Amino acid sequence: MFKKIKSLFSVPTNKPDLALSQLLALSKQIPLLYFLLISNTAFVAYTHFAFAPLFLTVYMPTAFSSICIVRLVSWWKMRHATPSADKAAQRLRSTVYISAGFGLLMSAWGLTIFPYGGPEEKAHVAFFMAITTIACIFCLTHLRAAALALALVTVIPFAIHFALLGSTVMTAVAINMVLVSSVMIYTLSIHFGEFNTMVEQKVNLEKTYIESVRLSNENHKFANLDSLTGMPNRRRFFAELGAAISGAERNKKALAVGLIDLDGFKAVNDLYGHSIGDALLVEASKRMQTHKNWSVFMARLGGDEFGFILQCDHHAQSAIKFGRELCEILRLQYVLGDFSADVSASCGVAMFPDNGKTAEKLLEYADYALYQAKAEATGGTVVFTPKHHEQLRFVHQINQALRNADLVKELSLDFQPIIDKAKGKIVSFEALARWNSPIVGQVPPATFIVTAERSNLIDKLTYVLFDKFLSHLAEWPEHITASFNLSARNLASPETALHILAAVQKSGIAPKRIVFEVTETAVMADFDRALKTLTLLRNLGASIALDDFGTGYSSLGYVHRLPLDKIKIDREFILEIHQSEKAKNIVRTVVDMCRNLGVPCIAEGVETEAQAQAVQGIGCTLMQGYFFGRPVPACEIGKLFELEFVTKRQKNRLRIA
């Protein structure tokens, strides 16, 4: 009970926001309170001047009003102050005491001056006390403790005094005063409670708002940053590119938009695991950001692809210099814990405004330049040129023609024999796609396969080719095998694998008659998926040959992990074999490796007798190349089964296996 009463007169210390809000509200109301006190006191002093001693009508009111003025000014100044929560609570506490003090002074003065004067003057004092007390309670609404203290020290003494006078009117005034004050204190308590809740809600709302602003800032940051490397991400890159183009257009400046791709990163990722791959990307991004001498914006666009926007002059020279420097630092060896890895980087650049004026065009051209950089030389920088523009136009044309092509009618397969030189017989055939377009004419497979891959038409194309492949096989004797080439996209698509599976089963052809050829680069594009597809095909009963061996990553690590039945040595190494010791040694190493792995190897691109003999001398007897037979339409292969196949140049009698 005592605690409850005490709490009514105290200022809570644990509600800093409430204290500050109370102070703010009071600073607007308390000056009015003092104004009323001064004026009401002056009026009573004036009406009593003729009856009461000077001490009560002049000196005391003057002293009282002076203190009121000092307080009024101090509260007036508080209106725009921002005190600490502690200071605010302190001020509120002192206000409670001061209110009680003023109340006491007012009561003492009122009671002392009351006996002087006639009935009207007495009524004036009673009215003064009642109305001033009510006004003060009203002005102190936001500090319940002060209002309560002031009410107690004024109402109680006066009520007792009036009640003891023995006058019915005065007793009624006393009762009136007590009732009105009680009701006022009660409503004040309700208001104060509501004020308290309102402040709490306001504080909570502010907190929620601040939190939501923080979260939104954080979201914005994460939406624009790559979480692994901390570099700006793809989204930010596009925003920056748009702004950079507008700026360059306005200021008639040039820009270089570059794309960088790490060559060999996928191999590191697949062989050593994703955490090592991640560490490599983090290190690469750090290296890129050490480029302080250039006015450049760099971002990670995804995977091992990065982009830059370089402010430069209209000549591509500085962009080439920048690209080369970047590729050079990216090529330095990466030491990642217990591992060390070597990767290189290629860079493709398109210039604004010379090459293109929109973000889409610049990125398309930079991407084409990057593709050229990868094809021409690893670790190089290629700037988009009018020659590339011409090529790209051709690619677009091919793309368009391919989209509108009647694939079943326009596509066909040629077959090239694979021979066993020691036995002098054909052991298999390789199916090679041909496209005869009524619009663009004969297009080499190396061109249209890439185009189909890039434009997502490869699956459709593969299905048509594979159906034709199966129908040719169905016409040939059952002991004849043939190989079919699969591209990187085919390997990465489980759908294609399932389609192939279903087609083989439907055709009734024994899967052991089919060899799927896959290149190292295609396998490494997505090793895990490729492994799944190859395992599926092999489980079906088909064989797998690793094509163009030696041109990709040539890492024993993954050759071991692949379900391989054959390895085809790329023709690049066969070309010089009869005249270069180095080429011969390379082929010998591969042949030895195949022997150790227990996998037969086939030498591709054998064009001359000298090459054939050099290959055979190393111990590789399986060969393929123009020397033995060019790729020919399937109908011509059919004839071979009736006639014996004889190489035109060597007159060696080759029998079909």
**Binding residue for Ca ion, selected from 547, 587, 606, 624, defined by CB under 5 A:** 547
The helix/strand/coil state of 227 is coil
**Least CB distance from residue 589 to Ca ion, whole Å?**
18
The residue sitting closest to ligand C2E, measured at its beta carbon, is: 625
Beta pairing, strands 632-633 & 645-646: unpaired
- 491/536 Cα distance (integer angstroms): 11
Residue placing its CB nearer to Ca ion in the complex, 174 or 586? 586
Residue 482 binding partner per list Ca ion, ligand C2E, none, with a CB distance cut-off of 5 to 8 Å that depends on partner kind = none
Residue placing its CB nearer to Ca ion in the complex, 200 or 572? 572
Tell me which residue has tokens 């003729």.
50
The helix/strand/coil state of 644 is coil
Catalytic residue among 226, 261, 270, 304: 304
Residue 283 binding partner per list ligand C2E, Ca ion, none, with a CB distance cut-off of 5 to 8 Å that depends on partner kind = none
Residue 517 interacts with Ca ion (CB under 5 A): yes or no: yes
**Least CB distance from residue 432 to Ca ion, whole Å?**
7
Per rule CB under 5 A, count of chain residues that contact Ca ion = 5
Residue placing its CB nearer to ligand C2E in the complex, 157 or 552? 552
Judge contact between 532 and 583, C-beta under 8 A: no
Residue 238 binding partner per list Ca ion, ligand C2E, none, with a CB distance cut-off of 5 to 8 Å that depends on partner kind = none
304 is annotated as an active-site residue: yes
- 590/112 Cα distance (integer angstroms): 121
Residue 487 binding partner per list ligand C2E, Ca ion, none, with a CB distance cut-off of 5 to 8 Å that depends on partner kind = ligand C2E
Only segment of 303-311, 515-523, 585-593, 620-628 that touches Ca ion (CB under 5 A): 515-523
**Least CB distance from residue 235 to ligand C2E, whole Å?**
34
Omega of the bond leading into 438 within 30 degrees of 0 (cis): no
Residue placing its CB nearer to ligand C2E in the complex, 51 or 626? 626
> What secondary structure does DSSP assign to 629-640, as a single string?
---EEHHHHHHH
Residue placing its CB nearer to Ca ion in the complex, 126 or 492? 492
SS3 labels along 423-488: CCEEEEEEEEEEEEECCCEEECHHHHHHHHHHCCCHHHHHHHHHHHHHHHHHHCCCCCCEEEECCH
Structure tokens at 6: 């005490």
Residue 520 binding partner per list Ca ion, ligand C2E, none, with a CB distance cut-off of 5 to 8 Å that depends on partner kind = none
- 297/108 Cα distance (integer angstroms): 80
The helix/strand/coil state of 305 is strand
The residue sitting closest to Ca ion, measured at its beta carbon, is: 517
Judge contact between 489 and 451, C-beta under 8 A: no
Residue placing its CB nearer to ligand C2E in the complex, 481 or 485? 485
Judge contact between 148 and 98, C-beta under 8 A: no
- 538/446 Cα distance (integer angstroms): 26
Give the footprint of Ca ion on residues 447-476 (CB under 5 A).
Answer: none
SS3 labels along 296-323: EEEEEEECCEEEEEEEECCCCHHHHHHH
Residue 133 interacts with Ca ion (CB under 5 A): yes or no: no
- 296/252 Cα distance (integer angstroms): 18
Residue 625 binding partner per list Ca ion, ligand C2E, none, with a CB distance cut-off of 5 to 8 Å that depends on partner kind = ligand C2E
The helix/strand/coil state of 1 is coil
Residue type, 103: G
Judge contact between 432 and 448, C-beta under 8 A: no
Residue placing its CB nearer to Ca ion in the complex, 91 or 568? 568
Residue 412 — φ and ψ, nearest 5°? -150, 175
Residue placing its CB nearer to ligand C2E in the complex, 305 or 607? 607
Residue 485 interacts with Ca ion (CB under 5 A): yes or no: yes
Residue 605 binding partner per list ligand C2E, Ca ion, none, with a CB distance cut-off of 5 to 8 Å that depends on partner kind = ligand C2E
- 13/18 Cα distance (integer angstroms): 10
**Least CB distance from residue 583 to ligand C2E, whole Å?**
15
What end-to-end distance do the CA atoms of the chain give, in Å? Answer: 111
- 11/95 Cα distance (integer angstroms): 10
Give the footprint of Ca ion on residues 602-621 (CB under 5 A).
Answer: 604
Rounded to 10 degrees, the C-alpha dihedral 325/330/332/334 comes to: 160
**Binding residue for Ca ion, selected from 226, 261, 526, 548, defined by CB under 5 A:** 548
Only segment of 211-219, 477-485, 494-502, 558-566 that touches Ca ion (CB under 5 A): 477-485
Binding site for ligand C2E (CB under 6 A): 416, 432-433, 444-446, 449, 465, 485-487, 517, 547-548, 571, 605-607, 624-626, 631
Residue 465 binding partner per list ligand C2E, Ca ion, none, with a CB distance cut-off of 5 to 8 Å that depends on partner kind = ligand C2E
Contact string 378-417 vs Ca ion (x = CB under 5 A): ----------------------------------------
Residue placing its CB nearer to ligand C2E in the complex, 356 or 550? 550
Only segment of 169-177, 376-384, 450-458, 516-524 that touches Ca ion (CB under 5 A): 516-524
- 222/232 Cα distance (integer angstroms): 9
Q: Which of 239, 383, 220 is nearest to 297 (CA)?
A: 239
**Least CB distance from residue 632 to ligand C2E, whole Å?**
10
Per CB under 5 A, residues contacting Ca ion are: 485, 517, 547-548, 604
Which residues are known to be catalytic? 304
